[in-house]
Amino acid sequence: MRAGDLRRGATHEVKGNPAPYVIPPAAAVVNLILAGVLSRLWGAYANPSVWQVAWRAALVLACSTAIVWCTYAVGRPRQLPLRAASLLMSTAACAGLFVLTFSRWSFDKIMTYLLIMVTASIMLAVTKLLHGRGDDARANLFGDLGERVKELQDIGKTGKPKVLDGRVVTHTEMRHGADFGSLATREVRTAIASALDVPPGGVRMVRNHNTPRVGRIEVSPVDMLEHPPIWPGLSAPGGSIADPIRLAVYQTGSIVPLILPGDPDAERNAMGVLILLGQSGSGKTALQVMLASEARSRHDAEVVYIDGRKGLQLPKAFRDAMHVMIHDPAEGERYLDGLVLDVARRAAQIGGHGHDQWIAGCTKCPKFKLVIVDEASKFIEAEDTMVELAESVRSAGIALLLGQQRATGDRLPTSVRSTIGGVLCMGVRDVGEAARVLSEETIEAGADPSWRNRKPGALYAELPGTDPDDWSLPGRTYKIDRDEVVAELVSYLASIGEAPSAGGPVSPVAGAPAASIRDDDEDYDPDADKDVECTPPPVDPDCPPDEDPHEPITVPRRPRIPLDLEAAGGRRYSPVEIRGMVRDGILTAYGNGVRTVRPSNFAPLLEIVGEEGLKPPTLSKILGEFCQGPHPLLHRSNDRGVYEIVPPDGGDGEPLARAA
């Protein structure tokens, strides 16, 4: 402190524990006194017999060995200087006690003993002064690593390491005021893994949910998932879908269970929407085939498999075994649109006998429905439908699995992401990609699926009914032979008289009439090539057209249906007002004798609401909405992109004409 501070009466309290400095020399003196007492009662000055000397020496030697071993074992986590000083202190004390007990004292013996003990005491004091705070309260598991990684310096206490399921688990308490979460960083985990020579993903930091100061550190010495286990067969063929599906195994060897329905007694929510994220080659398709086969083998489940890109590459026996197999994108989109109505019907059926969710074993409830949508990004673009399904399927006995390669905002909108009931994250590009679907706690604890497609089947699972502490444990699916899985499923179905028919599964559209492929692109016009006004002029062979014309192309004006909509420039219209305009236009067109419309017919709306107020995808969605509901206004025809105006009650359209 400065002299001016002292004159003003300032004080500074020096905090320190003198015990670490006093105990070693005091113990050396006490040990010397004990040696003198023993030499008089037991040792050289007691004139013992040979037998007495033998067993007394053996006893003292055993006690001394125990003291030295304990010092070595306890000092292993400590730094080398402190460990050496402690061992020197305990060894010299035990050796001096033995020698001075069973031999006569001399000046040289006493001085040698005192010199060694003083040296050891000074070494201990210097080590604590230079590396600690006087009380050496920084004991931790990491020795010199604690000096290099500053976050480890806040560890106040560590428990005795235990081996559980092949992992070394250590209870850890931080200093008061410190946060265990400071250890849950990639740098700290990597430093510990490097110091212990374990795989980078073999270190986990699991926070205690009751206090931010406490947690546990788990270290997996070897990668138990390098070689996946062999698939053991269907989990419970003939059982209920409420029974756990044996999905994968954790790094510890325990099963990763997948339970799709909810259970009010167990306070477990239904799955609802399950996201399966992983790069191409990460094992998504094999997992989906196995999951579909598991669900198909349950007596109270219905399985719908939608793959608009690679569906026909799946084994034919598998496609035939599904209740519904859809490999056409347009048909898959229609099915999902109709599923919205199916949710309402199922909810009415479930609620009609007093249940607020699907209940296993209830004969009045419909079968549980699992809808697997591979490459779901194409269908998630129809965000309104996906959000409505995600918000409603949970209690209607429907589980929706969405397979994705990327989880960017355009492929997995926030409105869909917020309704997710479970996540299976396989190999991705980096941990940032995984953080879009995995929880923050899972990422902080050490989850890092950035192995891309180098470990097919490896995953992290956040599922209802599993311990949240296990969400950051890596797992891996079984080593799946697709043909073996399909063969076992077909064999089971044949045993119960449900062998797949040669014609394959029916592909109905839930809640919507069957129709051929449609195209929502309003620029599409099947009659455009027949329009005489659009016929290109003949090409003169002696004067070919310029390959890069500078003159703009003039598109001939096409006839439009008069919708009698008044223009209103400069005003911003709400979605409700725009839908009202479309409805008025449909009614007006019907009143004028028009029976079909297509998106391009509503181009005059652009002159009213502007390009920002009504973009083509929005108009397509609006027309699709008018095809739904108990009293649809439109019906998709067999011509692509063409909608038929539906008269009420199958009549001649008089009410529509009057409404127009």
**Predicted confidence (pLDDT) at residue 292 exceeds the cutoff of 70:** yes
Residue positions counted in the chain: 660
pLDDT of residue 556: 44
Instruction: Give per-residue pLDDT as tens, 481-522.
Output: 888 999 999 999 999 988 886 555 544 545 443 333 333 443
pLDDT at position 144 is: 59
8-state DSSP, 298: S
* Confidence bin at 202 (pLDDT 50/70/90): confident
pLDDT reading at 132 higher than 70: no
CB 55 within 8 A of CB 43: no
Tally the C-alpha atoms within 13 A of residue 428's C-alpha that lie toward its C-beta: 25
| Helix axis angle, 616-625 to 575-591, nearest 10° | 70
pLDDT, residue 384, reads 66
pLDDT at 563 over 60: no
- Cα→Cα distances 424→243, 247, 275, 559, Å: 19, 10, 6, 52
The better pLDDT of the pair 186, 15 is held by 186
- Give the residue carrying structure tokens 């023993």: 38
Give the pLDDT of residue 324.
93
Q: Judge contact between 341 and 512, C-beta under 8 A.
A: yes
Which H/E stretch holds residue 114?
helix 107-131
* Cα 90 from Cα 72, distance rounded (Å): 9
Lowest mean pLDDT, pick from 205-209, 229-233, 597-601 = 597-601
Q: What is the mean pLDDT of the chain?
A: 77
Tokens in use for 501?
């028919």
Say whether pLDDT at 265 is over 80: yes
Secondary structure element (H or E) that encloses residue 64, with its range = helix 50-75
93/99 Cα distance (integer angstroms): 10
Mean pLDDT, residues 135-146: 50
Maximum mean pLDDT: which of 93-107, 506-520, 550-564: 93-107
What number of other Cβ atoms are within 10 A of residue 43's Cβ?
A: 26
Dump pLDDT digits (tens) for 566-593: 445 566 777 778 888 888 888 888 888 8
Task: Quote the pLDDT of residue 503.
Answer: 53
Mean pLDDT of 364-379: 88
- Quick check: helix, strand or coil at residue 339? helix
Residue 607 CA neighbour count, 13 Å, CB half: 9
Residue 424 is predicted with a pLDDT of 94
Task: Please give the average per-residue pLDDT across 126-150, as a whole number.
Answer: 56
- Written as one string, the DSSP assignment of 183-220 is G-SHHHHHHHHHHHT--GGGEEEEE-SS-TTEEEEEE-
C-alpha span between 402 and 399 (Å, rounded): 10
Q: What pLDDT is stored for residue 560 in this prediction?
A: 42
Q: What is the pLDDT of residue 129?
A: 66
By CB atoms closer than 10 A (0-12, 13-18, 19+), residue 617 is middle
pLDDT on residue 606: 64
pLDDT given for residue 614 in this prediction: 56
On whether the CB atoms of residues 417 and 404 are closer than 8 A, the answer is no
Residue 438 sits at φ, ψ, to 5 deg, of -80, 150
Of 133-142, 265-274, 408-417, 615-624, highest mean pLDDT = 265-274
Backbone φ and ψ of 429, nearest 5°: -70, -45
pLDDT at position 323: 92
Report CA Rg, the chain. Answer: 39
In the predicted structure, residue 461 carries a pLDDT above the cut 90: yes
Asked if pLDDT for residue 449 goes beyond 50, the answer is yes
- Domain covering 245-426+478-495 in this structure, CATH number: 3.40.50.300
Q: Where are the domains of the chain?
A: 19-131, 145-219, 245-426+478-495, 528-538+559-659
CA-CA distance, 249 to 141, in Å (whole number)?
A: 30
pLDDT confidence of residue 142: 56
Quote helix, strand, coil % in the chain, to nearest 5.
45, 15, 45
Question: Tens digits of per-residue pLDDT, 13-54?
Answer: 444 556 666 777 788 788 888 888 888 888 888 888 888 888
Predicted local distance difference test score (pLDDT) of residue 207: 84
Higher pLDDT pick, 211 / 542:
211
Of the given ranges (251-260, 436-445, 538-547), which has the lowest mean pLDDT?
538-547
Q: Is the pLDDT of residue 83 over 70?
A: yes
- What's the pLDDT at 570? 60
Per-residue confidence (pLDDT) for residue 304, from 0 to 100: 95
For residue 648 the two structure tokens come to 């009420």
Is the pLDDT reported for residue 309 higher than 80?
yes
Q: Return the top range by mean pLDDT from 76-85, 406-415, 588-597.
A: 588-597
Residue 63's pLDDT is: 87
Structure confidence at residue 147 as a pLDDT band (50, 70, 90): low
> Mean pLDDT, to the nearest integer, of 530-536?
44
For 409, phi and psi rounded to 5 degrees? -60, -30
- pLDDT of 534 over the 50 cut: no
List the single range of 71-85, 160-174, 178-192, 292-306 with lowest mean pLDDT: 71-85
Instruction: Return the structure tokens found at 352.
Output: 């009609």
What was the pLDDT predicted at 257? 93
Residues 6 or more apart in contact with residue 543 via CB below 8 angstroms: none
**Residue whose structure tokens are 């399950």:** 274
